[in-house]
Structure 1
Amino acid sequence: MAKQHGGKILAERLALHGVTRVFSVPGESFLAALDGLHDANIPNIVCRQEGGAAMMADAHGKMTGQPGVVFVTRGPGATNASAGLHIAMHDATPLVCFVGQVPLKHRDRGVFQEVDYRAFFGPLVKWVAEVERTDRLAEYIDRAFAVAQSGRPGPVVLALPEDILSAMAEPPKMRPGSLAMLGAAPDTIHAFATCLNDAKHPLIICGGSQWSDTARQQAEALAARTGAPIAVTFRRQDYIDNDHPHYAGDFGVGMNPALAKRLGASDCILLLGAELNDITTADFTLLDPAQTPTLLQVHPEAEAIGKVYPATHAVSAIPGAILQDLLEAVDPVAGDRGAASARTEYEGWQRPQETPGTVQMEWVISWLRDNVAPETIITNGAGNYAAFLHRYHRFRRYGTQVAPTSGSMGYGLPAAISAKLQNPQSPVICLAGDGCLQMTLQELSTARQHGADITVIVANNGRYGTIRMHQEKTYPGRVSGTDLYNPDYATLAKAYGGTGHTITTNSEFPDAYKMTLDGGLHIIELKLDPRMLATTKSL
């Protein structure tokens, strides 16, 4: 069999793993990989900065459950990408990052852009390795994909020395292995069911990264069968149809105080992939670890079970592996066990609280909630604006919310591009603050180059809103480092071959949004009153 260079071996291995798209910023350190991709039927989405490329790969992993793949060059390329890798690690997203490396023959000489990637990425990702033999390249790739998807998913980094990647070797004969499937024994299912049957105030919480539309349907059926309220963790709101009569809201930043109180009053909590972390429990104040109620925990990583709050019964598995069995094992409940009142509290929380100005975020988000198609995908990064989305929108289909639980700014635009490429028939909205958007603004060029027709809604209040909110609370009247200068977003949209819309009153927004449904790139700038922050502290 004719020998191939490492880049060709790599590209063919990606195809065997079912990779349908990669994201990259090109570099001379991995020219052989680019050459391999030239002949592979795998589109290469060329981005403008490595952080944006890694965020696109993370969004791809979130949407598909398969590892997103990103290629970056050595030195500054790799360090730029670390922002997206941190998101993937925090959010438990499967991702494989290939980093070009200095030639192996020059390693440890401090040559141009040399970095010790094992040391740099070690605390940041699930696994990092450097390939030192071309004939073992396939072995490392297979392991990278396995580690990225096993247990609690996460990012993996493979450093590829330039000379190893360009060297020749025989194509590998080994095939990729399969992943281990985790499940629960019948006695564990019985123990879970008994606890749910005996509970007076049960609560179901869905979270984590390994979810599906089937899991959504099964979890909703379980809530209906047990009479329990069902909620989600931070930025996992699309895991349950928000119109479902048992849906009670999200345990996120600025959660509904009534839902927070309900967590502490529950006598049995079923965690389906979710974790009782600082966000879920409001800095561990809503539940006392020394007085934990009956806790039923389903999580793919055994080490995460009982991390802070001791589990009564637990299973190391993804929720979808046990939900059907649990659904069949629990007794149907004729009466209500808190779902109706929890739903009333949720709907009350969604009644808009008026903020200052002629353009109001609560009005805009409520209009989107009541008017956009249910398949509309909404992405966002981090900022004060996002609290309005969490509180007032309703996600009705799984896969329509793509956002970082790590709280990373700049995520919304790259994620929207990735979402549109993956779901070309669905409308895609990037909701961003002016500070958030400007961190990855250059990826508008990527959107246009690759035909990602997205709508960007910019909440422009001229400041880093979340930080300003805390600043006004902690050091009132002492503004420092939070004001922003903004471009003319309507003109900017035109510069990228798109259409710009400047909104100065609520009534102008519906017509502007409807124009975006005909395709193309659109930026809708919301001119917000800076005083809005003073009334959104509870968000």
Structure 2
Amino acid sequence: MTEAAAVEARLGGHILADALVAQGVTHAFCVPGESYLDLLDGLYARRNRIELVTCRFEAGAVHMAEAYGKLTGRPGVALVTRGPGACHAAIGVHVAFQDSTPLVLIVGQIPFEETDRESFQEVDYRKMFAPLAKWVTQIDDAARIPELMAHAFDVATSGRPGPVVVAISEEMQRSMAVVPDLPPAHVLPAHPAPAALDEMMARLGKAQRPLVVLGGGAGWSAQGKADIRDFLLANDLPVAVSFRRMGLFDGTSPNYVGDLGVGADAALVRKAKECDLFLAIGTRIGETVSQGYTLFDMAGSTPIIHVYPDQAEIGRVYRPALGITSDLNAFAAAAKALPKVAKPAWSGWRAELRAAREAQAKAPDYAGPLNLATALQALEAVLPPDTIFTTDAGNFATWPQRFMHVGAGQDFLGPTNGAMGYSVPAAIGAKIVHPERTVISFVGDGGMLMTGQEMATAFHHKVAPIIMVFNNGMYGTIRMHQERHYPARVSGTQLTNPDFARLIESFGGHGEVVEATDQLVPAFQRAVASGKPALIEVRTNPEQVTNRSTIAELRAQTKPAART
């Protein structure tokens, strides 16, 4: 839009579309609603600037936008209608909040003159989203659209990134206003204080058993990941990643020692408790990383160096020996430029941690025709070096987490809040952002039937992710806990499933069924060759409910008192 056109009278819906263009938005993910028809019309007028992705369920739309945010570092944008649409979208907002992903959710709203009458589909979004979003606002004056939308994008990306919710009333979208568009604010990132870097290296030089944990998702750029890798390798440091952040560090590196999250290797957890310096970069050191807040005491007897872009998160739970408030990429660049530790004392310690990781990743001899660990490692060997993985929540997810190694050029997207139904729409969103890259969705049979209908979105927008459904006929995680606490008393966890491979064929896609170890790689190769959206149904042994225990073993481990 030219500068002259920017000050002409425009409809609010068109001003809002122009505000998205001004903030650099390239994609918007939506389920349409009558509450924002005027914005849809504005997006029609800007269809050469913003691709509007039509989805089938609001949670799916927000998951796609969240995946966009993770991959680009820019706010993903989702559009939903009022009432039920906003309620369906809430789970995606919670994912973005706990994953620290920049997101802007735009919600159609009732006419503001009907407020507090419990009008059709009326919800007070400030109250509804207050615990889930960084900021919630409502625009009732078209003249304020550029101001409030620019601020929404600023909030979504500043400090600890996260979601912002913007409600837009109906009549505001239809009113005329004369107001200029506002560009993104030019803000230099926060850099680490030089004195803090000096103290960090002094503490590191005295350590015998340091451990680094990398976290954060959308906050990292490709250059930032390369810079932090160079710093860590130059100092031969052992590196773990936080929950579902396997894309932050090369899993094939001899310095990679595993992930600290749900299903973490017990050997790594033991070693983490033995470390004498814990360097947390980009992670909040939350419940999953800290193994239920058991790794360290709150007072800081184990020295912690905590690097995070939001000072409010430093010391929130654990008192650090040193807190460094910094943009993660700025920190990585500064750390890379530092002189390395002269004589690191931890080469043996790093080797012990790596050996434990390699031992964990060795495929056991599982019973039955399908050894999923072996099959996944064979798949890993044939994947492109820039593959994007998305994962859902569930016990199935611990198999690729434990047995596969995400390479330096690959990305791994997963919900740290444990949201089922994330993976399929996230894979579609990822494929829309990067159509040239292979995208694989790991999803259980439970999560597949929560948002699997978004396969239709993949066909509609002509992208071809590969969906890998792990089918064991149950909600596996809950069944695992059930067997631990109430063995042999199965209640509410069994599932009846369709033929998943035939399901995608009904859409016009490519379906495969895998029941044996040597079938997975050929099935994947045929799926890629088809050029269509594809689904590989991996029929797993329901008795092998985790990668470490069978149902029989869980029952045998349960204390007799729990059986009564």
* TM-score higher than 0.5: yes
Contact residue 412 and residue 432 of structure 1 kept, 8 A = yes
For 2:256 and 2:119, how far apart are their aligned partners in 1?
57
Preserved contact between residue 197 and residue 330 of structure 1 (Cα < 8 Å): no
Partner of 2:330: 321
Distance 2:182 2:382 in 1: 52
* Contact kept in structure 2, 1:469 and 1:534, CA below 8 Å: yes
Which residue, out of 359, 362, 380, partners 2:373? 362
Match of 1:487, SS? Answer: coil
Q: Which residue of 2 aligns with 1:349?
A: 360
User: Which position in structure 2 is the counterpart of 1:308?
Assistant: 317
| 1:277 partnered with 2:289 | no
Aligned equivalent of 1:251, options 256, 260, 272: 260
For residue 246 of structure 1, report the CA deviation from its aligned partner. Answer: 0.9
TM-score by length of 1: 0.97
2:116 — aligned with what?
108
Residues 289-300 of structure 1 mapped to structure 2, 5 A cutoff: 289-300=298-309
SS at match of 2:450: coil
Map 1:419-430 → 2, pairs under 5 A: 419-430=430-441
Q: Distance in 1 between matches of 2:146 and 2:93?
A: 22
How far apart are the structure 2 equivalents of 1:470 and 1:330? 48
Distance (Å, rounded) in 1 between the aligned partners of 2:113 and 2:297: 56
- What CA distance in whole angstroms lies between the structure 1 residues aligned with 2:197 and 2:312? 20
Corresponding residue for residue 28 of structure 1: 34
Say if 1:378 and 1:430, in contact at 8 Å, map to a contact too. yes
* Matched position secondary structure for 2:367: coil
AA matched with 2:322: H
For residue 544 of structure 2, give the secondary structure of its aligned residue in structure 1.
helix
With over 3 angstroms needed to count, the CA separation of the structure-2 counterparts of 1:37 and 1:23, relative to structure 1, is same
Q: Is the CA contact (8 Å cut-off) linking 1:240 and 1:398 kept in structure 2?
A: no
Structure 1 residue 240 corresponds to structure 2 residue 252 = no
**Aligned equivalents of 1:325 and 1:377: distance in 2?**
28
Q: Distance in 2 between matches of 1:63 and 1:463?
A: 31
How far apart are 1:2 and its partner, in Å?
3.1
Secondary structure in 2 aligned to 1:145? helix
Deviation at 1:129, TM superposition (A): 0.6
Cα distance, 1:330–1:265 mapped onto 2, change above 3 Å: farther
Deviates more, 1:312-321 or 1:481-490: 312-321
Q: Is the 8 A contact 1:196 1:226 kept in 2?
A: no
Q: 1:273 to 1:337 in 2, by over 3 A?
A: farther
Contact 2:150 2:182 in 1 (8 A): no
Contact preservation (8 Å) 2:19, 2:181 = no
Q: Which runs of 5+ in 2 are unaligned?
A: 1-6, 555-564
2:350 corresponds to 1:339? yes
Aligned partners of 2:18 and 2:181 also within 8 Å? no
How far the C-alpha of 1:337 sits from its partner, in A, is: 5.3
2:71 aligned with 1:59: no
Give 2:253's aligned amino acid.
H
Q: Deviation of residue 236 (structure 1)? A: 0.5
Question: Letter of the aligned partner of 1:524 in structure 2?
Answer: I
1:528 to 537, 540, 546: 540
Contact 2:22 2:182 in 1 (8 A): no
Aligned partner of residue 395 in structure 1, secondary structure? coil
Q: Give the counterpart letter for 1:362 in structure 2.
A: A
String of CA shifts for 1:450-503, please: whole Å, max 9, x gaps: 011011111100000110011111100000000001111121111111011111
CA distance in 2 between partners of 1:424 and 1:211 (Å): 21
Aligned partner (choices 12, 16, 35) of residue 10 of structure 1: 16
Q: Which piece of structure 1 moves more, 122-131 or 500-509?
A: 500-509
Structure 1 residue 291: Cα displacement: 4.6
Q: Letter of the 2:203 partner, please give it.
A: C
CA distance in structure 1 between the aligned counterparts of 2:365 and 2:293, rounded to whole angstroms: 30
The DSSP-based 3-state class of the residue aligned with 1:396 is: coil
Would you say the 8 A contact 2:399–2:547 is kept in 1?
no
CA pair 443-535 structure 1, distance change in 2 beyond 3 A: closer
Range moving further from structure 2, 166-175 or 470-479: 166-175
CA shift for structure 1 position 535? 5.8
CA–CA distance in structure 2, aligned partners of residues 534 and 14 of structure 1: 45
Q: Secondary structure at the match of 2:456?
A: helix
* Contact persistence 2:12–2:175 (CA under 8 A): yes
Look up the match of 1:448. Answer: 459
1:231 and 1:39 map into 2 onto residues whose CA distance is 47
Deviates more, 1:63-72 or 1:259-268: 259-268
After superposition, the Cα gap between the structure-2 partners of 1:427 and 1:116, relative to the gap in structure 1 and judged at 3 Å, is same
Instruction: State the Cα distance separating 1:206 from its structure 2 match.
Output: 0.6
Does residue 166 in structure 1 map to residue 174 in structure 2?
A: yes
Residues 259-301 of structure 1 deviation map (CA, whole Å, 9 limit, x = unaligned):
1112111111111111222211211222122353221111011
Offset, 1:180: 5.0
Per-residue deviation, 1:219: 2.1
2:389 counterpart (378, 389, 394): 378
Q: Which residues in structure 2 correspond to 1:173-192 (within 5 Å)?
A: 174-179=182-187, 181-192=189-200
The amino acid across from 1:466 in the alignment is T
TM score, norm. by length of structure 2: 0.93
- What CA distance in whole angstroms lies between the structure 2 residues aligned with 1:492 and 1:227? 49
Question: Which is further off, 88-97 or 286-295?
Answer: 286-295
TM-superposed CA distance for 1:511, in Å, is 1.2
**Aligned equivalent of 2:165:** 157
Unaligned runs of 5+ in 1: none
Q: Contact 1:247–1:343 at 8 Å: present in 2 too?
A: yes
Shift in CA distance, 245/534, structure 1 to aligned 2, threshold 3 Å: closer
Do the aligned residues in 2 keep the contact of 1:67 with 1:93 (CA within 8 Å)?
Answer: yes
Q: After TM superposition, give the deviation of residue 177 of structure 1 in Å.
A: 2.0
Letter in 2 for 1:296: I
3-state SS, counterpart of residue 531 of structure 1: coil
- 8 A Cα contact 2:12 2:172, kept in partner: yes
Give the Å deviation of 1:179.
Answer: 3.4
Indicate if the aligned counterparts of 2:387 and 2:410 stay in contact, CA closer than 8 A.
no
Q: What letter matches 1:263 in structure 2?
A: A
Judge conservation of contact 1:200–1:337 (CA < 8 Å) in 2.
Answer: no
Structure 1 residues 49, 173: closer, same or farther in 2, change over 3 A? Answer: closer
Within-5 A mapping of 1:39-188: 39-40=45-46, 41-172=49-180, 174-179=182-187, 181-188=189-196
2: CA distance between counterparts of 1:399 and 1:84? Answer: 23
Taking a change above 3 Å as real, the CA distance of residues 534 and 175 of structure 1, as seen in their structure-2 partners, is: closer
Offset from partner CA, 1:167-223 (integer Å, 9 cap, x none): 111142544322352112211111111111111111111102311222222222222
Q: Residue by residue, what CA displacement relative to the aligned partner does 1:47-70 show, whole Å, maximum 9, x if unpaired?
A: 000010011111100110000000
User: Whole-Å Cα distance in 1 between the matches of residues 453 and 358 of structure 2?
Assistant: 39
Identity, % of aligned pairs? 38
SS in 2 for 1:406: coil
Structure 1 stretches (4+) deviating beyond 6 angstroms?
none
| Cα RMSD for the two superposed structures | 1.6
Provide the C-alpha distance between the structure 1 equivalents of 2:528 and 2:321, rounded to a whole number of angstroms.
50
Q: 1:484 aligns with which of 495, 503, 516?
A: 495
